[in-house]
Amino acid sequence: NAGVTQTPKFQVLKTGQSMTLQCAQDMNHEYMSWYRQDPGMGLRLIHYSVGAGITDQGEVPNGYNVSRSTTEDFPLRLLSAAPSQTSVYFCASSYTGGAFFGQGTRLTVV
């Protein structure tokens, strides 16, 4: 019962570096999304996808790119990391009864 798997769990980047946060789900859900969690602010939607080949922006998309080539995978790319992107990132896979979340990636940009 893997559910939603995120890698890595922790990452430290230097300003200007790029990286990809990986997310995979094995529940065959069409809808997947990325959120970031900052202290006192709950979770905010970065990007989402309603199926393979279809992505769209959420509330805070600047500085992030996504793609969805398969139903299972939904990677999040930071092209040029900035300290403001220090956060905990959660990937979610959804159906009408709710969303299943990965364990999160704690990212620090120095």
Partner 1 sequence: GEDVEQSLFLSVREGDSSVINCTYTDSSSTYLYWYKQEPGAGLQLLTYIFSNMDMKQDQRLTVLLNKKDKHLSLRIADTQTGDSAIYFCADPMMDSSYKLIFGSGTRLLVRP
* Tokens (6 digits) for 74: 């939904």
User: In angstroms, rounded to a whole number, what is the distance separating the alpha carbons of residues 54 and 69?
Assistant: 9
Please say which residue, 3 or 16, places its beta carbon nearer to partner 1: 3
- Binds partner 1 (CB under 8 A): choice among 58, 61, 63, 75: 58
CB of 80 to partner 1, least distance (A): 26
Query: Residue 46, Cα to own-chain centre: how many angstroms?
Result: 7
User: In angstroms, rounded to a whole number, what is the distance separating the alpha carbons of residues 95 and 42?
Assistant: 21
* Binding of residue 41 to partner 1 (CB under 8 A): yes
* Binding of residue 62 to partner 1 (CB under 8 A): no
CB of 56 to partner 1, least distance (A): 9
- Binds partner 1 (CB under 8 A): choice among 13, 90, 107, 109: 90
* Binding of residue 94 to partner 1 (CB under 8 A): yes
* Tokens (6 digits) for 57: 């922006």
DSSP string covering 49-92, please?
EEETTEEEE-SS-TTEEE--SSSSB--EEESS--GGG-EEEEEE
Please say which residue, 9 or 84, places its beta carbon nearer to partner 1: 9
Return residues touching partner 1 (CB under 8 A).
Answer: 4, 31, 33, 35, 40-45, 48, 50, 58, 90, 92, 94, 96-104
